[in-house]
Structure 1
Amino acid sequence: MAVDLDEFKHPSWLTAAGTGIGYAIILAVLTVALFIVPWLVFAAL
């Protein structure tokens, strides 16, 4: 079964990838802001 990779060049795939990457970045920033920063502040006390 041959897979035609040209079907993945549709703009909807770019939108889906951008959404996933954006979600991951926001999740990483929130994790740092809500867990890592307070941990560093309390560890410094």
Structure 2
Amino acid sequence: MAVDLSEFDHPAWLTVVGTGIGYGLILAVLTVAMFVVPWLVFSAL
């Protein structure tokens, strides 16, 4: 079964990828801000 990759050339797929990357970056920043930074502050005391 051959897969036609040209169906993924639609701009909506770029939006899906951009949304996923943006969501991942926001989650990473919030995780660092809410867990890593306080852990570093309290471990330095």
Q: TM-score, normalised by structure 1?
A: 0.97
SS at 2:35 equivalent: helix
Q: Deviations over 1:1-45 (max 9, x none)?
A: 110011111000000000000000000000000000000000000
Provide structure 2 residue ranges, at least 5 long, that are not aligned to the other structure.
Answer: none
Quote the RMSD (CA, aligned, Å): 0.3
The count of aligned residue pairs is: 45
Q: 1:28 maps to what in 2?
A: 28
Matched residues, percent identical? Answer: 78
Q: Are residues 1:10 and 2:10 paired?
A: yes
What is the letter of the counterpart of residue 23 of structure 2?
A: Y
Alpha-carbon distance in structure 2 between the residues aligned to 1:26 and 1:9: 26
Provide structure 1 residue ranges, at least 5 long, that are not aligned to the other structure.
Answer: none
Alpha-carbon distance in structure 2 between the residues aligned to 1:39 and 1:9: 44
Q: TM-score, normalised by structure 2?
A: 0.97
Runs of 4+ in 1 over 3 A off after TM superposition: none
